[in-house]
């Protein structure tokens, strides 16, 4: 007996069965006419058998990449079945030529537009560089004016007093603090600056931009009491301090001179009383006294005016000029950023247009190059695509010289003959048993004497929607079985029969599937005893398309009927393999109860 036993039902069905009656364990007449099978012990292969087509798992598919509305004609094409060699690949053998005339016209038309776009791009790039340079120069000038304004203020009130005042107002007081102030202001401007909105709504929003905070504040110089700087030695060595010293010195000189004149007048009065001098001389001395008093008063008034009016006025004026220089720097920075942003936006737009046209140009050149199809790998030349079916073949015109190709239409496929597989459709009743890596036996119809081995490499997660196009109840799952080794006698497109090995059972009891009957979810067989048949419960196991394992209930050599005796009537029907495949665990559990 062969290790993998396979019997056909047709050979056993030649014998016609006769009806008999069973009562208890006794049989009826005509029982010997029923076809029977002797219970076997041996090895049983559990497998799923499906048919499919052989195809290459790895292939080079060359498609039409020419984007022309009316399609592209084939000028030349190599004959189907040509064997591309390694030498053909090295020499770049031409496999097909497509009509390039339409593309050449498109390239000429596009060249003019590309040149204009390229010129605009170069102009925008140069404009951005100029705008950046000019903006940088303007900011440098304003930054210089700001430093000069600070120096003027420091020069007037003194560096010490200037630092004190500016720190109290939270304003930059030296070059380092100015740089820090400018950096913080620039960050805030950039954070609130919307370059895209500025480009599209510039005219609408002109003058309505969100200003930097310092722009809206009133001048802080008017709130400073500069008179306090005159107390003590707070002014330092500034111009104001020098003026104060000069005016004080002049007042002191005038006061000293007044004292000298007063003593001279007192002496003149005494001499006049003694008639040592004339009255006119005394009057001249009195005039000199009035002049000295007037000179002292003038100097004291000048000192008071400078202290109370001129000094605060000049100090506030210089501080205001410094504040205005700070604001001018912010305004210039904002204007520079806006100007550069506009130039950048124009440049980016020109660059995008240029890149689009460049890609279009490169795409047209690539399409033109694709009109000449050369050998890229060795293999057998086949027309069309690797996975064409009925629907795609109606959509595309057949490949031949002079045929018109649509965009994306497969032209030539060169399969890798070292990796072949079989595409099969697994019925939904078997899909739970199929797993990746399972072994398979393949027999190609064209070479029936050759038995090949393979393994399951792909199983679909969802059923094939095309399979249910004409039969909505049909649910099959596409699967791929890769054939082991290199087989020169196989060709893509050959039909083949695939047996996927689910399990290999050793030393078991088995009988044909048609010998098992079901009633109320219990499994029975009819065993021949004498001239009759006895119905016995059995517990089943795995099965293939022909045989089923009997776990309990039968012994080797017993004869079981291959159809139900006529005297029996059951509410169920014969054993259904699909039913067992979908719910085998429940069937086994019921079998245990029967035992």
What DSSP line would sit under 90-101, residue for residue?
A: HHT-EEEEE--H
Helices 311-370, 101-157: crossing angle, 10 deg rounding = 170
36: which 2 tokens? 């029977």
Nearest to 146 by CA among 188, 170, 191, 181: 181
Helix (H, G, I), strand (E, B), or coil: what is residue 1?
Answer: coil
DSSP assignment, residue 23? B
Residues 416 and 58: beta-carbon distance below 8 Å: yes
Q: Which residues of 505-527 are buried (b: 16+ CB within 10 A; e: fewer)?
A: beebbbbbbbbbbbeeebbbbbb
Strand order in the sheet with 410-415: 59-63, 410-415, 382-383
From the number of C-beta atoms within 10 Å of its C-beta (0-12, 13-18, 19+), residue 217 rates as exposed
Residues of the chain by 3-state class (helix, strand, coil), percent to 5: 45, 25, 30
Q: Chain-centre distance of CA 67, in angstroms?
A: 27
For residue 278, the number of C-alpha atoms closer than 13 Å in the C-beta half-sphere is: 3
199: which 2 tokens? 């480009």
182: which 2 tokens? 């400018």
Q: Rounded to the nearest 5°, which phi and psi values hold at 196?
A: -65, -40
Token pair 């008017």: residue: 222
DSSP assignment, residue 592? H
How high is the pLDDT of residue 481?
A: 94
For residue 226, the number of C-alpha atoms closer than 13 Å in the C-beta half-sphere is: 26
275: which 2 tokens? 């008639």
519: which 2 tokens? 């009633």
Strands (E) in 484-585, as ranges, are 495-512, 517-519, 522-529, 532-537, 539-543, 547-552, 559-561
How high is the pLDDT of residue 570?
A: 54
Token pair 């802080």: residue: 220
What is the residue-level pLDDT of the chain in tens, covering all 595 positions?
333 333 333 333 333 333 333 333 334 434 557 899 999 999 998 888 899 998 888 888 999 999 888 889 999 999 988 989 999 999 999 999 999 998 988 999 999 999 999 999 999 999 999 999 999 999 999 999 999 999 998 898 888 888 888 888 889 989 998 999 888 888 888 887 654 455 445 544 444 444 444 444 567 877 787 877 777 677 778 888 888 889 989 999 999 999 999 999 899 888 888 888 888 988 898 899 899 899 999 999 998 898 888 988 888 898 999 999 999 999 998 899 889 989 999 999 999 999 999 999 999 999 999 999 999 989 889 888 877 654 455 577 888 999 999 998 999 998 888 889 999 999 888 888 899 999 999 999 988 888 999 999 999 998 888 776 777 788 899 999 999 988 888 888 889 999 999 888 999 999 999 999 998 889 999 999 888 899 999 999 988 888 999 999 999 999 999 988 887 765 455 655 555 444 443 433 444 444 3
How high is the pLDDT of residue 185?
A: 84
How high is the pLDDT of residue 354?
A: 94
Q: Rounded to the nearest 5°, which phi and psi values hold at 47?
A: -145, 160
Token pair 């792909």: residue: 458
How high is the pLDDT of residue 506?
A: 92
For the chain, what is the radius of gyration of the CA atoms? Answer: 55
Contacts 24+ apart (CB under 8 A), 365-370: 365/107, 366/65, 367/65, 367/66, 367/67, 367/103, 368/100, 368/103, 368/104, 368/107, 370/64, 370/65, 370/66, 370/98
How high is the pLDDT of residue 116?
A: 92
Instruction: Give the contacts of 69 (CB within 8 A, at least 6 positions apart).
Output: none
| End-to-end Cα distance, the chain | 29
Q: Which domains, and CATH codes, for the chain?
A: 9-55+418-594 (2.40.30.170), 59-99+371-415 (2.40.50.100), 115-215+226-363 (no CATH)
For residue 122, the number of C-alpha atoms closer than 13 Å in the C-beta half-sphere is: 6
Q: CA-to-CA distance for 23 and 590, rounded, in angstroms? A: 25
Q: CA-to-CA distance for 46 and 502, rounded, in angstroms? A: 5
The secondary structure of 486-507, three-state, reads CCCCCCCCCEEEEEEEEEEEEE
């Amino acid at each position: 007996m062969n290790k993998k036993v396979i019997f056909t039902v047709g050979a056993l069905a030649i014998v016609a069965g006769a009806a008999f009656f069973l009562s208890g364990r006794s049989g009826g007449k005509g029982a010997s006419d029923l076809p029977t099978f002797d219970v076997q012990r041996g090895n049983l292969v559990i497998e799923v058998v499906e048919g499919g087509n052989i195809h290459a798992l790895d292939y080079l598919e060359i498609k039409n990449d020419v984007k022309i509305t009316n399609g592209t004609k084939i000028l030349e094409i190599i004959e189907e079945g040509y064997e591309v060699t390694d030498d053909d690949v090295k020499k770049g053998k031409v496999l097909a030529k497509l009509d390039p005339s339409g593309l050449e016209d498109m390239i000429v038309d596009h060249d003019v537009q590309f040149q204009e776009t390229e010129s605009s791009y170069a102009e925008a790039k140069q404009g951005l560089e100029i705008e950046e340079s000019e903006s940088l120069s303007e900011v440098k000038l304003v930054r210089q004016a700001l430093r000069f304004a600070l120096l003027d203020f420091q020069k007037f009130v003194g560096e010490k007093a200037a630092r004190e005042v500016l720190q109290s107002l939270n304003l930059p007081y030296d070059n380092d603090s100015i740089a820090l102030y400018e950096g913080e202001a620039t960050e805030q401007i950039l954070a609130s600056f919307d370059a895209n909105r500025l480009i599209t709504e510039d005219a609408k929003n002109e003058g309505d931009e969100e200003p930097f905070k310092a722009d809206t504040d009133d001048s802080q110089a008017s709130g400073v009491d500069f008179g306090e700087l005159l107390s003590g030695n707070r002014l330092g060595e500034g111009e104001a301090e020098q003026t104060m010293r000069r005016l004080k010195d002049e007042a002191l000189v005038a006061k000293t001179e007044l004292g000298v004149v007063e003593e001279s007048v007192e002496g003149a009065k005494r001499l006049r009383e003694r008639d040592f001098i004339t009255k006119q001389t005394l009057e001249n001395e009195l005039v000199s006294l009035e002049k000295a008093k007037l000179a002292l008063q003038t100097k004291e008034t000048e000192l008071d005016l400078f202290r109370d009016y001129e000094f605060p006025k000049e100090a506030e004026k210089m501080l205001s000029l410094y504040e205005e220089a700070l604001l001018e720097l912010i305004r210039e920075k904002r204007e520079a950023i806006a100007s550069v942003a506009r130039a950048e936006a124009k440049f980016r737009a020109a660059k995008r247009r240029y890149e689009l046209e460049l890609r279009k140009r490169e795409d047209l050149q690539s399409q033109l190059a694709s009109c000449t199809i050369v050998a890229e790998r060795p293999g057998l030349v086949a027309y069309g695509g690797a996975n064409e079916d009925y629907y795609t073949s109606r959509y595309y015109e057949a490949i031949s010289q002079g045929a018109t190709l649509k965009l994306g239409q497969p032209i030539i496929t060169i399969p890798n003959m070292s990796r072949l597989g079989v595409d099969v459709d697994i019925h939904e009743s078997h899909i739970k048993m199929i797993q990746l890596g399972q072994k398979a036996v393949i027999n190609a119809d064209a070479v029936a004497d050759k038995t090949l081995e393979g393994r399951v490499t792909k199983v679909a997660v969802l059923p094939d929607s095309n399979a249910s196009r004409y039969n909505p109840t049909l649910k099959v799952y596409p699967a791929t079985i890769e054939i082991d080794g290199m087989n020169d006698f196989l060709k893509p497109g050959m039909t083949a029969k695939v047996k996927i090995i689910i399990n290999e059972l050793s030393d078991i009891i088995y009988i044909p599937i048609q010998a098992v009957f079901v009633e109320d979810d219990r499994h029975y067989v009819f065993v021949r005893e004498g001239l009759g048949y006895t119905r016995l419960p059995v517990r089943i196991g795995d099965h293939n398309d022909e045989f089923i394992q009997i776990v309990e209930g039968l012994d080797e050599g017993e004869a079981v009927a291959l159809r139900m005796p006529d005297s029996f009537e059951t509410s169920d029907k014969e054993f259904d393999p699909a039913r067992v495949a979908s719910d085998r665990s429940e069937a086994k559990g019921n079998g245990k109860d029967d035992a």
